[in-house]
Amino acid sequence: MPKKVQSAIEPTRAEDYPEWYQQVVKASDLAERSSVRGCMVIKPWGYSLWENIVDAMDDMFEETGVKNAYFPLFIPKSFLEKEAEHVEGFAKECAVVTHHRLEKGPDGGLVPAGELAEPLVVRPTSETIIGDSFSRWVKSYRDLPLLINQWANVVRWEMRTRIFLRTSEFLWQEGHTVHATEAEAIERTRMMLDVYARCAEEYLAMPVIKGRKSAAERFPGAVDTTCIEAMMQDRKALQAGTSHFLGQNFARASEIKFQTTDEKEAYAWTTSWGTSTRLVGGVIMTHGDDDGIILPPRVASSHAVILPIVRKPDDRPAVMAYVDNLVNRLKEQTFHGRRIKIEVDDRDIGGARGWDWIKKGIPLRVEIGPRDIEGNSVFVGRRDKGHREKESMSVDRFVAEFANLLDDIQANLYDRALAYREAHTRDIKDKQDFDDFFTPKDSDKPEIHGGFAVSPWCGDAACEAAIKEDLKVTIRCIPFDSEATDDKCICCGKPGSRSVIFAKAY
């Protein structure tokens, strides 16, 4: 029997992928479960990663003319009821506030008191409460387009939770725009999806497929929902961002009307779009290995850690002076507009230091000891190349090539993820092949399956529902470049209308 390769995370991805994910979150010190059911505490290392994603996305939003604002956490129940499909879609996930204070009860314990005249829903999404403000802000075509985003938390009362991927409370952004014409609103819907795709691919090194959702998967109340879908290493899909064309549905519900150029009154056309902290989960599952997370340098919590090697007390002053000089030289640089962030870990815990940073996924590990000082060099390990491969470099070369090293890691992560997706995506037109592709080969690992199937679908919701019922597989998206086909529907055998992406999903 071959000797098992040492790894920091147990179980490995191959042994138990869901548990591997939980252990990576713990070992990397990204987050932990809260005492509040279904909620998470995002720790500094994980929150810094989220902040860097926020900064990148916010810059891109601003480039498109979007302004940030903030709206209430509480939504009157009557607001949700204005749009029937919307309230039906979110009703089962709503947390509701019915009282405004606590009083001592007969047994001395606290009981709710002061019943509200109208219950307040803790926002699951904000179309209706923002629409209420928009109805006052928009009066004339001169007020349009109105382009607003908010960074906030939302609550969706999930029954089964997993840190970052699906929690009862999570962080996100939600954009909401108002337009004078249908064409402008549709253009904005696609524009913001392109922003999400750019963020995922250029910053998170996560390849995505852009397309639209089927009617069954559409956002409640939307006319059209577009999305980006990424493949994780268990070959499931992760919906990494959505952008919705709402038509005039929410404008009618909220009375968002304006005076047109020919002095007539018209309902506006609106959009909404959002993504969330599930992107952090996507980074883990796209790039992580059996030693922990691997952070893409463009959003990494820090870019490098310096590990001073001090075996004798007399060596410490010279080593730390060398380290300080290197830190100062590196911090004079920037990386894609971000200031360089360097960690210095001089804890006296031996080899455990290196493993800690490997598990945390920091892009570069730099060891410096007396021998390195004598050679005016550093000893460098790249996180994307595992824990064994290290290289001695002159300190001048390391400083000069620092940004290039980070760029190379970023590109390597993207290329590796893209190759993985392509290796596990198949064009399938035969029903038996389709069923086999999504049927686990190992009954002990029911989550492992084929990946993405590109297959013809006739457009009938009944076929979509049957596949979901039989295989727990859904239409992740209808790619924008999907063309009409005469191939037979993978479910019913009738001539298909489009090739779509089928997959199991988070």
Domain of residue 413: give its range. 304-421
**Which residue from 227, 204, 405 is spatially nearest to 285, judged by alpha carbons?**
204
**Is the model's pLDDT at 470 over the cut of 50?**
yes
Largest CA distance in the chain: 84
**Do 309 and 385 share a structural domain?**
yes
Residue 340 and residue 262 in one domain: no
379: which strand partners? Answer: 367, 392
pLDDT band at 202 (very low <50, low <70, confident <90, very high): very high
End of a domain among 370, 389, 421? 421
Question: What is this structure's pTM?
Answer: 0.96
Q: Which residues contact 327 (CB under 8 A, 6 or more apart)?
A: 306, 342, 344
Q: Are residues 279 and 311 in the same domain?
A: no
User: For 114-147, how does the pLDDT look when each residue is reduced to its tens digit (9 = 90+)?
Assistant: 999 999 999 999 999 999 999 999 999 999 999 9
Write down which residue in 367, 399, 421 finishes a domain: 421
- The set of residues, in sequence order, having a beta carbon less than 8 Å from that of 434 and lying 6+ positions away, is 428, 453, 455, 490, 502
Give yes or no: residues 414 and 468 share one domain: no
pLDDT tens per residue, range 39-49: 999 999 999 99
Indicate whether 2 pLDDT > 60. Answer: no
Query: Would you state the pLDDT for residue 309?
Result: 95
Calpha distance 284→10 (Å, rounded): 15
For position 248, what pLDDT does the model report?
Answer: 98
Any domain includes 6: no
Predicted confidence band of residue 349 (pLDDT cuts 50, 70, 90) = confident
pLDDT, mean over the chain: 95
- Asked whether residue 25 falls in the same domain as residue 148, the answer is yes
The tally of CA atoms less than 13 A away on the side-chain side of residue 493 is 2
Q: Predicted confidence band at 1 (pLDDT cuts at 50, 70, 90)?
A: very low
The answer on 237 and 213 residing in a single domain is yes
Q: Please tell me the total count of domains within the chain.
A: 3
Q: Using an 8 Å Cβ cutoff, are 450 and 437 in contact?
A: yes
**Boundary residue ending a domain (421, 455, 481):** 421
Residue with tokens 């009362």: 157
The residue among 438, 501, 466 whose CA lies nearest residue 214 is 501
Decide if 69 is inside a domain. yes
Percent of the chain with pLDDT over 90: 90
H or E stretch at 250: helix 249-254
Q: Would residue 112 count as lying in a domain?
A: no
The closest alpha carbon to 230, from 471, 448, 452, belongs to 452
